Amino acid sequence: MTTLRREDLIRALPYARRYARALTSSQQAGDALVADCLRETLANASLPPDGITDARQVLYWGVTQLFDSGIGRADPACGGLPEGLSTKQRQLLLLTSLEDVTADDAAPILGMEISAAHERLADAREKLRASAATEVLIIEDELIIAMDLEELVQSCGHRVVGVAASEAEAIEIAKRTRPGLILADINLGIGGDGTNAVSTILRSHYAPVIFVTAYPERLLTGDAIEPAFVITKPFEPLTLAIATYQAVTGGVQLDSV
C-alpha cells in the first residue's frame, strides 16, 4: 500500500464519518469507528488490498472491516431485523450512492468480486423501494427545493405529512403529526436554523433525522453534536431512498452476507 500522508487522511475524515454514521445509524458509534480505523491506519496495523490507495477509500475499507468484526453494530435486541437486504448490500448502497464510489471500486473495499458487487447492487436497488415506508416531515425554506423533495420522498414510497419553511412551523407540524422521519435543511434563511428545529422536536418526539447540506465537510467536523445522516445537495432519488431506509431501519444488524 502506498504510504498515505496524514493531511490526506484528515481531508478524507468527513466522508469516512458520513459513511460510518450512516452504517451505524449513530454519530457516536460512527465517529468511534472512524477513530479506531484512523489509529490502525496510521500505525499500519492493517493493510487494505492492492489497488486501494486513495485516502478516502482506505478509510472506507477500514471502517467496513471494523464494522464487519462487530464494532459499532447496534444491539439486535433493540429492534426487529428488516428483511430483504444483506449487510453487504447495505454497504454497497451506502458507498455507491451516498459516497459516490463506483461499484468497481466498492468491490475491493468490501472484499467482493466486481461481478458479485454489481449483481448484489442491482438486486438491492430492486428491493429498496418497497422497504421501510414511513411518514415524513420536510423542513426546507426554498419552495422549489421543497417541492422537489416532496416528490422524491413520495417516489420512495413515503407519505409527506407536512412541509415547513421555518423553525416554528416545523415544531408545530411535528407536534401535530408525529412523523416517522424528518428530512431537514440546515439553513432556513429568515426562518431560522434546521438543527435548532430538530433539537426542539426531539425533546418530545423521537424520529430519525436526515440533514441536507451542500457542504458536508463543514458539518462533519467532530467538534459538536452532529447528525448521523447527511445527504449532500444535489442528490439523486436513489441516494434519498438509501438514506431513508437506513435511518428508518435504525442500522441494526441485517441478514448474513
3-state secondary structure 20-65: HHHHHCCHHHHHHHHHHHHHHHHCCCCCCCCCCCCHHHHHHHHHHH
Tell me the C-alpha distance between 235 and 220, whole Å: 18
Tell me the C-alpha distance between 4 and 2, whole Å: 6
DSSP 3-state of 84: coil
Give the three cell numbers for residue 143: 419552495
* Omega cis (within 30) before 216: no
Half-sphere exposure of 128 (CA within 13 A, CB side): 25
Task: Please tell me which of 73-77, 173-177, 251-255 the model is most confident about, judged by mean pLDDT.
Answer: 173-177
- Under CATH, to which class is 135-248 assigned? alpha beta
pLDDT in tens, 125-159: 777 765 667 899 999 988 988 998 888 888 777 88
Give the residue with greater pLDDT, 218 vs 22: 22
* Percent of the chain whose pLDDT exceeds 90: 30
Helix-strand-coil split of the chain, %, nearest 5: 55, 10, 35
Q: How confident is the model at residue 249 (pLDDT cuts 50, 70, 90)?
A: low
pLDDT in tens, 86-95: 889 889 988 9
Maximum CA extent, the chain: 55
**Whole-model pTM above 0.75?**
no
DSSP 3-state of 256: coil
| pLDDT score, position 229 | 76
* pLDDT, average across residues 228-235: 73
Tell me the C-alpha distance between 246 and 160, whole Å: 18
* pLDDT, average across residues 51-59: 88
pLDDT in tens, 203-221: 998 888 888 876 666 555 5
| pLDDT score, position 156 | 72
| pLDDT score, position 119 | 94
3-state secondary structure 87-150: HHHHHHHHHHHHCCCCHHHHHHHCCCCHHHHHHHHHHHHHHHCCCCCCEEEEECCCHHHHHHHH
| pLDDT score, position 226 | 58
| pLDDT score, position 255 | 33
Give the three cell numbers for residue 248: 428508518
| pLDDT score, position 102 | 92
User: Could you say which architecture CATH assigns to the domain 6-128?
Assistant: Up-down Bundle (1.20)
Burial 141-155 (b: 16+ CB within 10 A, else e): beeeebeebbebbee
- pLDDT above 80: residue 244: no
* pLDDT, average across residues 185-214: 86
Taking the domains of the chain in order of start, what are their residue ranges?
A: 6-128, 135-248
| pLDDT score, position 116 | 95
Tell me the C-alpha distance between 181 and 228, whole Å: 13
**Closest by Cα among 238, 207, 210, 209 to 128:** 238
Tell me the C-alpha distance between 132 and 216, whole Å: 25
Q: How confident is the model at residue 65 (pLDDT cuts 50, 70, 90)?
A: very high
| pLDDT score, position 176 | 95
| pLDDT score, position 108 | 94
| pLDDT score, position 79 | 32
Half-sphere exposure of 155 (CA within 13 A, CB side): 13
The answer to whether residues 103 and 97 touch, using CB atoms and an 8 Å cutoff, is no
